[in-house]
Amino acid sequence: MSTMIDILSEPAILVALIALIGLIAQKKGIADTVKGTTKTFVGFLVIAAGAGILSGSLTPFGSMFEEAFNVSGVVPNNEAVVALALTDYGTTTALIMFFGMIVNILIARFTRYKYIFLTGHHTLYLACMLAVIMAVAGFNTFGLIAAGSVALGIVMTLSPAILQPFMRQLTGNDNVALGHFSAVGYAASGLVGKLFKGSKETSTENIKFPNGLGFLRDSTVSIALTMIVMYLIVAFFAGPTFIEAELSGGTNFLVFSLIQAGTFAAGVFVILSGVRLVLAEIVPAFKGISTKLVPNAKPALDVPIIFTYAPNAVLIGFFASFLGGIASMVAMIFLGGVIILPGVVPHFFTGAAAGVFGNATGGFKGSVAGAFVNGIIISFLPVFLMPVLGDLGFANTTFSDADFGVSGIFFGSLANYGGPIAITISLAVIILLMIIPGKKKNNNQSQQSKVG
């Protein structure tokens, strides 16, 4: 069982297998098949390495921030909360994940929602959350796995679907979708961006710097310098005693901060390199899946795939989302109750993406405003999610991204107020609604074909 979790939750292996199947379905030669599969595999490992570098440099920043401003509360972190839950729900999580992926493929095959979700670790996280919620609802083991699998397959399909109009606007085509469970926040950012009616001239990528600051047009340079300033400011507030005793292992606090800021920029550079490698291979390989198994299917890939479209918006979105998190934290302090601290890692990845989508629809102002709204969304949703997670809701961490909050609150509320019957009826209704439009569309298409 643990082997199945390892395979299905590892994006590099999962997507490489998909590429292999697609290339074989297209009857490509051995050389092309080996090349496409290997480059896809390596590309995702490069992205994962970059994400690891980023997370490693952001973790001490979060600790420094808490120490500098003397705040404490719940820090949303998917990895942390899943690690706690898997001790009790490991087997059911693995089965929900496996069958949920099958449900996702079946929905893509027989409805108009042609999205195959390929971000394995996010699938694992959501499967884990659903295992907890279905257990709280009172399902027996079989019902828990069945209901959790169908719910997972539905969210895996609808999450990229609601975001695809913005993906088309961003990429200029319909070849790829975004597979990252924060689509609600990204779509909100895109909608907020529309209020500003952005254009190419107002894009974050066309910010006009004075001649003497022309070096800032290089995204690696601008990211490194910006993060250096941020780290040094927070380091001064946190103080050398805390940093050198708790984080740097005795290294001077300014030197440590400088290295972490540079490491952050290096992580972004590595991610962008991996994205270019993957997109060059996975989209052509996926045509085999589209042609043979699921006609017109689109691969829904992890969030870094969009970072290359607006590298400046990535950094702007991160800061704007983090500010949204800080504003939300201050509001919670005044309101009383649970205080959600702004987790630096979720605010970077979701804020960066929200900034990119806000920029696509509203330029610089859309990027800032859209990402700020995303920061508020991922701060307040956990407040309402925690009560429906049973004992796990009392942990000092919780799920961070928007889709976890929306789907968790939806199914968790059904569990609390209607139990297994309410969840079963809701799942049946959702599946029916997804199927009916697809059948109508197919009928219309067939009639048009006959007329033609």
Residue 51 scores a pLDDT above 50: yes
Model pLDDT for residues 123-136, shown as the tens digit of each residue: 888 998 999 999 98
Token reading at 254:
């300014």
* Of 334 and 274, more confident: 334
pLDDT, mean over the chain = 84
Say if residues 322 and 344 touch (Cβ distance below 8 Å): yes
Q: Which of the pair, 282 or 437, is modelled with greater confidence?
A: 282
pLDDT tens digits along 273-298: 887 777 677 767 766 666 677 888 89
Tell me the sheet residues that pair with 177. Answer: 300
Q: What's residue 356's pLDDT?
A: 95
| Percent with pLDDT over 90 in the chain | 36
* Dist. CA 157–CA 104, nearest whole Å: 6
Q: How many CB atoms lie within 10 A of CB 84?
A: 16
Mean pLDDT to the nearest integer, 36-51: 83
pLDDT in tens, 78-118: 877 887 787 788 778 878 988 898 899 899 999 999 999 98
User: How many Cα atoms occupy the beta-carbon half-sphere of 216 within 13 Å?
Assistant: 14
- Residue 14 confidence (pLDDT) above 90: no
Residue 433 has pLDDT above 80, yes or no: yes
CA distances (Å), origin 312, targets 215, 219, 266, 353, 373:
13, 6, 15, 11, 18
pLDDT at 450: 37
Predicted TM-score of the model (pTM): 0.80
